[in-house]
Amino acid sequence: MMMENGLSMEDYGDNYMEQEEEWEREGLLDPAWEKQQKKTFTAWCNSHLRKAGTGIENIEDDFRNGLKLMLLLEVISGETLPKPDRGKMRFHKIANVNKALDFIASKGVQLVSIGAEEIVDGNLKMTLGMIWTIILRFAIQDISVEEMTAKEGLLLWCQRKTAPYKNVNVQNFHLSFKDGLAFCALIHRHRPDLIDYSKLSKDNPLENLNTAFDVAEKYLDIPRMLDPDDLINTPKPDERAIMTYVSCYYHAFQGAQQVGNMTHVPEPTRQYTYVPNNYNAETAANRICKVLKVNQENERLMEEYERLASDLLEWIRRTMPWLNSRQADNSLAGVQKKLEEYRTYRRKHKPPRVEQKAKLETNFNTLQTKLRLSNRPAYLPTEGKTVADISNAWKGLELSEKAFEEWLLAETMRLERLEHLAQKFKIKADAHEEWTRGKEEMLQSQDFRQCKLNELKALKKKHEAFESDLAAHQDRVEQIAAIAQELNSLEYHDCVSVNARCQRICDQWDRLGALTQRRRTALDEAERILEKIDILHLEFAKRAAPFNNWLDGTREDLVDMFIVHTMEEIQGLIQAHDQFKATLGEADKEFNLVVNLVREVESIVKQYQIPGGLENPYTNVTAHDMTRKWSDVRQLVPQRDQTLANELRKQQNNEMLRRQFAEKANVVGPWIERQMDAVTAIGMGLQGSLEDQLHRLKEYEQAVYAYKPNIEELEKIHQAVQESMIFENRYTNYTMETLRVGWEQLLTSINRNINEVENQILTRDSKGISQDQLNEFRSSFNHFDKKRAGRLTPEEFKSCLVSLGYSIGKDRQGEMDFQRILAVVDPNSTGYVHFDAFLDFMTRESTDTDTAEQVIDSFRILAGDKPYILPDELRRELPPDQAEYCIQRMPPYKGPNGIPGALDYMSFSTALYGETDL
Hey, which residues does 892 pair with through a beta bridge? 903
Closest C-alpha among 870, 862, 877, 868 to residue 277: 862
Predicted model pTM? 0.38
Contact 746, 673 (CB under 8 A): no
Looking at the predicted structure, is the pLDDT value of residue 636 above 60? yes
Contact 818, 802 (CB under 8 A): no
* Residue with the larger pLDDT of the pair 435 and 528: 435
Q: How many whole angstroms separate alpha carbon 251 and alpha carbon 244?
A: 11
Neighbours of 22 (CB within 10 A): 10
pLDDT of residue 539: 77
Looking at the predicted structure, is the pLDDT value of residue 144 above 70? no
377 alpha carbon, distance to own chain's centre: 21
Contact 108, 215 (CB under 8 A): no
Averaged pLDDT for residues 829-840: 82
pLDDT of residue 326: 81
Arch. (CATH architecture) of 852-913: Orthogonal Bundle (1.10)
Q: Which of 23-37, 187-201, 333-347, 855-869 has the lowest mean pLDDT?
A: 23-37
Looking at the predicted structure, is the pLDDT value of residue 114 above 70? yes
Does residue 125 sit in helix, strand or coil? helix
Q: How many whole angstroms separate alpha carbon 156 and alpha carbon 154?
A: 5
Question: If pLDDT is split at 50, 70 and 90, which confidence band does 314 have?
Answer: very high
Q: How many whole angstroms separate alpha carbon 623 and alpha carbon 628?
A: 8
What is the full DSSP assignment across 244-313? HHHHHHHHHHHHHHHS-TT--PPPP-TTS-----HHHHHHHHHHHHHHHHHHHHHHHHHHHHHHHHHHHH
Contact 39, 227 (CB under 8 A): yes
Contact 490, 414 (CB under 8 A): yes
Hey, which residues does 224 pair with through a beta bridge? none
Question: If pLDDT is split at 50, 70 and 90, which confidence band does 186 have?
Answer: very high
Closest C-alpha among 667, 653, 655 to residue 711: 667
Those residues with Cβ within 8 angstroms of residue 694's Cβ, 6 or more apart along the chain or in another chain: 754, 757, 758, 761
Contact 145, 131 (CB under 8 A): no
pLDDT of residue 273: 34
* pLDDT tens digits, one per residue of 544-571: 788 788 888 888 887 877 777 777 877 8
Strands 791-792 and 833-834, by their bridges, are antiparallel
pLDDT of residue 887: 92
pLDDT of residue 914: 67
What is the full DSSP assignment across 732-800? -S--HHHHHHHHHHHHHHHHHHHHHHHHHHHHHHHHT--HHHHHHHHHHHHHH-TT-SSEE-HHHHHHH
Does residue 895 sit in helix, strand or coil? coil
Contact 242, 221 (CB under 8 A): no
Does residue 669 sit in helix, strand or coil? helix
Percent of all residues in the chain with a pLDDT value above 90, rounded to a whole number: 9
Q: Which of 66-75, 311-320, 324-333, 857-866 has the lowest mean pLDDT?
A: 324-333
pLDDT of residue 93: 84
pLDDT of residue 532: 42
* pLDDT tens digits, one per residue of 16-57: 333 343 334 344 446 777 888 888 889 899 988 888 889 898
Question: If pLDDT is split at 50, 70 and 90, which confidence band does 903 have?
Answer: very high
Q: What are the φ and ψ backbone dihedral angles of 375, each rounded to 5 degrees?
A: 60, 30
* pLDDT tens digits, one per residue of 490-522: 777 778 888 998 988 899 888 888 888 888 887
For the chain, give the mean pLDDT.
80
* pLDDT tens digits, one per residue of 605-615: 677 555 666 77
Q: What letter represents residue 361's amino acid?
A: E
Q: How many whole angstroms separate alpha carbon 892 and alpha carbon 871?
A: 11
Those residues with Cβ within 8 angstroms of residue 347's Cβ, 6 or more apart along the chain or in another chain: 715
CA angle 817, 132, 93 (to 5 degrees): 100
Contact 187, 168 (CB under 8 A): no
Averaged pLDDT for residues 873-897: 89
Averaged pLDDT for residues 57-75: 87
Instruction: Using alpha carbons, list the distances in angstroms from residue 546 to 348, 472, 477, 807.
Output: 63, 9, 18, 102
CA angle 131, 132, 135 (to 5 degrees): 90
Q: How many whole angstroms separate alpha carbon 436 and alpha carbon 421?
A: 22
Interior/surface letters 110-123, b for 16+ CB within 10 angstroms, e for the rest: eeeebbbebbbeeb
The top-scoring range by mean pLDDT among 393-402, 405-414, 787-796 is: 393-402
pLDDT of residue 9: 34
Averaged pLDDT for residues 122-126: 87
How many helices (H) does the chain have, and how many strands (E)? 35, 4
58: left (phi over 0), alpha (psi -120 to 50) or beta: beta
Q: What are the φ and ψ backbone dihedral angles of 80, each rounded to 5 degrees?
A: -105, 125
Q: At what angle are helices 387-436 and 535-559 packed, to 10 degrees?
A: 160
Does residue 56 sit in helix, strand or coil? coil
CA angle 27, 30, 33 (to 5 degrees): 65
Looking at the predicted structure, is the pLDDT value of residue 830 above 70? yes
Q: How many whole angstroms separate alpha carbon 765 and alpha carbon 761?
A: 6
Closest C-alpha among 59, 55, 73 to residue 125: 59
Neighbours of 107 (CB within 10 A): 16
Arch. (CATH architecture) of 32-254: Orthogonal Bundle (1.10)
Contact 88, 118 (CB under 8 A): no
**3-state SS string over 174-240?**
CHHHCCCHHHHHHHHHHCCCCCCHHHCCCCCHHHHHHHHHHHHHHHCCCCCCCCHHHHHHCCCCCHH
Averaged pLDDT for residues 297-316: 90
Q: How many residues does the chain have?
A: 918
pLDDT of residue 288: 81
Q: How many whole angstroms separate alpha carbon 59 and alpha carbon 55?
A: 10
Closest C-alpha among 224, 223, 228 to residue 207: 228
Looking at the predicted structure, is the pLDDT value of residue 214 above 90? yes
Question: If pLDDT is split at 50, 70 and 90, which confidence band does 258 have?
Answer: very low
Q: What are the φ and ψ backbone dihedral angles of 631, each rounded to 5 degrees?
A: -65, -40
CATH node for 286-417: 1.20.58.60
* Residue with the larger pLDDT of the pair 750 and 614: 750
Does an H or E element contain 145, and which? Answer: strand 144-145
Q: What are the φ and ψ backbone dihedral angles of 791, each rounded to 5 degrees?
A: -155, 160
Question: If pLDDT is split at 50, 70 and 90, which confidence band does 225 have?
Answer: confident
Neighbours of 327 (CB within 10 A): 7
Averaged pLDDT for residues 872-882: 88
Contact 213, 39 (CB under 8 A): no
In a 13 Å sphere around the CA of 731, the CA atoms on its Cβ side amount to 15
State the chain's maximal CA–CA distance in angstroms: 171
SS3 content of the chain, % helix, strand, coil (to 5): 70, 0, 25
Q: Where are the domains of the chain?
A: 32-254, 286-417, 852-913
pLDDT of residue 709: 93
Looking at the predicted structure, is the pLDDT value of residue 904 above 90? yes
Kindly calculate the radius of gyration of the chain based on its CA atoms and give it in whole angstroms: 52
